[in-house]
C-alpha cells in the first residue's frame, strides 16, 4: 500500500497527492509517469510525476477528475492509501542546453511541466513559460512556474485573468517577434498540443509534446498506447511519452482516445448508482 502523505485541492476538480514511495522517488526523472491502481479491482491509470523528494521518499502527482477512476481517486484524502504504484515509467524528457526554451502548458499539465522547466533551467536554458486556463478560478501553481521562468505569460479563454485567448496566440507572437526560440515543450490537452505544434511548424522550431493515449500496463506489452509518429507505430509508454509534435498523427491519436467513450460514461453511471458520490470535501475532511 502507498500512503497519501498529503492531499491538496488545487482547483475544485484538480487535486494533488503526495505519496510515500521511496523507491520511486529515488529513480524519478522529469517527464516520467507512474501507473496508479486504487484498489485490487481498480483500473490502472497513468499520472505524470509533478514532483519528488528523494530524501523524504515521496512523489507528487496532480490529477484532474474526468471519469470514474479519477473521481474515485478524489474521494481519498491525507492518510488514506492506494493499492499499487508502478514506475517511474516512460523515457525522461531529453534535457540539454538548447538556448531559449518555451514551456507551454494547460490544465493539470501546469504541474507536470514544472519539473521539466526546472531541469531545462538547470541545464542553462532561458525559460519562457505560457500557461493557459479556461478561467481565473482554475488558475493554480502560478508561483511555482513563475519561480522557474525567466518570463511568464498567463492566458485565460474568457480573459478573467492574464491575457484573453488561448496559449497559441502568445506562442505565435513570440515566434513572429524574431526572437530566437530553440525549443518548445507543449504539454496539456491533446488539442492544445496539436495546435501548439501546428503553430511552430512554419517556423521550424522543434516542438516536444507528451502524448496521452489510453494505457494499460505502461510497460510496452499490451499495445494499447500505440501512436503513429513519423509514419511509424510507436508505444507511448516505452518509446515516449515525449515525441516530436510535428511528426505525430494527431487525428489518429484523438480518434483512439475516443474509442471507449460509451463504456467510460456507463462506468461512471454504474459507479454512481452503486456508491452515491459524497458531497465535495466530505470523504477527505
Ligand atoms: C503518460 C500519461 C500521463 C498522464 N498524466 C496525467 C496527469 O498527470 N494528470 C491527469 O489528470 N491525467 C493524466 N493523464 C490522463 C489520465 O490517465 C486519464 O485522465 C485517466 O486515465 C482517466 O481515467 P478515468 O477513469 O477517470 O476517466 P475515463 O472516463 O475512463 O476516461 C476519460 C478519458 O481519459 C482517457 N483515459 C481513460 N483511461 C485511460 C488510461 N488507462 N490511460 C490513459 N488515458 C485514459 C481517455 O481519453 C478517456 O476518454 C495521463 C495520461 C497518460 C497516457
Ligand atoms: S500501455 Fe501497454 S504497451 Fe503501452
Q: Tell me the DSSP string of 16-80.
A: EEEEE-HHHHHH--TT-EEEEESSTTPPEEEEEEEEEETTTTEEEEEEE--SHHHHHHTT--TT-
Kindly state if the Cβ of 70 falls inside 6 Å of ligand 1: yes
pLDDT for the residue 151: 97
The alpha carbon of 179 and the centre of ligand 1 are apart by a number of angstroms equal to 36
Cα–Cα distance, 249 to 280 (Å, whole number): 39
Point out the least confidently predicted range of 88-97, 131-140, 229-238, 266-275. 266-275
E strands, the chain, are 2-11, 14-20, 33-37, 44-53, 58-64, 81-82, 84-89, 100-106, 126-133, 151-156, 163-164, 183-187, 207-210, 226-229, 232-235, 242-244
CA of 45 to the centre of ligand 1 (A): 6
The per-residue pLDDT for range 244-264, each reduced to its tens digit, is 999 999 999 999 888 888 888
**Binding site membership of 112 for ligand 1 (Cβ less than 6 Å):** yes
Question: Residues 212, 192: contact at Cβ < 8 Å?
Answer: no
> pLDDT tier at 285 (50, 70, 90 boundaries)?
very low
**Which residue among 212, 214, 224 is best mutated to probe the pocket of ligand 2, counting the most ligand atoms within 8 A of its Cβ?**
224
Q: pLDDT tens for residues 111-153?
A: 999 999 999 999 999 999 999 999 999 999 999 999 999 999 9
Residue 260 is predicted with a pLDDT of 80
Q: Please state the φ and ψ torsions of residue 18, each to the nearest 5 degrees.
A: -100, 120
How far is the C-alpha of 192 from the C-alpha of 198, rounded, in Å? 10
Q: Give the model confidence (pLDDT) of 45-104 as tens digits.
A: 999 999 999 999 999 999 999 988 999 999 999 999 999 999 999 999 999 999 999 999
Question: Does 144 contact ligand 1 (Cβ within 6 A)?
Answer: no
Residue nearest to atom 7 of ligand 1 (CA): 47
Q: What pLDDT shows up at residue 278?
A: 56
pLDDT at residue 276 tops 80: no
Give the model confidence (pLDDT) of 149-177 as tens digits. 999 999 999 999 999 999 999 999 999 99
| pLDDT greater than 70 at residue 283 | no
Q: What does the pLDDT read at residue 279?
A: 46
Torsion of Cα atoms, 162 then 178 then 206 then 253, to 10°? 50
Largest CA distance in the chain: 58
- Using the predicted structure, report yes or no on whether residue 281 has a pLDDT greater than 50: no
CA distances from 152 to 132, 145, 259 (A): 11, 8, 36
- Tens digits of per-residue pLDDT, 185-196? 999 999 999 999
Calculated CA dihedral for residues 272, 274, 276, 280, nearest 10 degrees:
-70
Burial class (CB in 10 A: 0-12, 13-18, 19+), 24: buried
User: Which ligand is closest in space to the CA of residue 37?
Assistant: 1
Ligand nearest to C-alpha 45: 1
214 lines ligand 1 (CB under 6 A): yes
The predicted structure's pLDDT at residue 277: 55
DSSP state of 260: T
Task: Give the 3-state secondary structure of residue 224.
Answer: coil
Q: Which residues pair with 46 in a beta bridge?
A: 35
Amino acid 280: pLDDT: 46
Q: What is the pLDDT of residue 71?
A: 93
- The pLDDT of residue 273 is 81
Do residues 33 and 50 touch, judged by C-beta distance below 8 A? no
Ligand nearest to the CA of 50: 1
Amino acid at each position: 500500500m502507498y500512503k497519501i502523505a498529503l492531499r491538496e485541492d488545487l482547483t475544485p476538480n484538480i487535486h494533488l497527492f503526495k505519496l510515500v514511495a521511496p523507491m520511486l522517488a529515488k529513480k524519478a526523472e522529469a517527464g516520467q509517469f507512474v501507473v496508479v491502481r486504487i484498489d485490487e479491482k481498480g483500473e490502472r491509470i497513468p499520472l505524470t510525476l509533478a514532483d519528488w523528494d528523494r530524501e523524504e521518499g515521496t512523489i507528487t502527482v496532480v490529477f484532474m477528475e474526468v471519469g470514474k477512476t479519477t473521481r474515485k481517486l478524489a474521494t481519498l484524502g491525507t492518510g488514506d492509501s492506494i493499492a499499487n504504484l508502478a514506475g517511474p515509467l516512460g523515457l525522461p524528457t531529453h534535457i540539454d542546453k538548447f538556448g531559449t526554451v518555451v514551456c507551454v502548458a494547460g490544465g493539470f499539465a501546469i504541474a507536470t511541466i514544472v519539473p521539466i522547466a526546472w531541469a531545462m533551467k538547470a541545464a542553462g536554458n532561458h525559460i519562457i513559460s505560457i500557461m493557459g486556463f479556461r478561467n481565473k478560478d482554475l488558475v493554480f501553481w502560478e508561483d511555482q512556474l513563475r519561480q522557474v521562468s525567466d518570463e511568464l505569460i498567463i492566458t485565460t479563454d474568457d480573459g478573467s485573468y492574464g491575457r484573453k485567448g488561448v496559449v497559441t496566440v502568445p506562442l505565435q507572437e513570440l515566434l513572429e517577434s524574431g526572437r530566437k526560440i530553440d525549443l518548445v515543450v507543449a504539454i496539456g490537452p491533446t488539442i492544445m498540443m496539436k495546435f501548439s505544434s501546428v503553430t511552430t511548424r512554419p517556423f521550424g522550431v522543434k516542438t516536444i509534446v507528451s502524448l496521452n493515449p489510453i494505457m494499460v500496463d505502461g510497460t510496452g506489452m499490451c499495445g494499447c498506447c500505440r501512436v503513429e509518429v513519423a509514419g511509424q507505430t510507436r508505444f507511448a509508454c516505452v518509446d515516449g511519452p515525449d515525441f516530436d509534435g510535428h511528426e505525430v498523427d494527431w487525428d489518429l491519436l484523438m480518434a483512439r482516445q475516443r474509442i471507449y467513450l460509451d463504456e467510460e460514461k456507463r462506468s461512471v453511471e454504474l459507479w454512481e448508482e452503486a456508491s452515491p458520490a459524497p458531497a465535495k470535501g466530505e470523504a477527505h475532511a
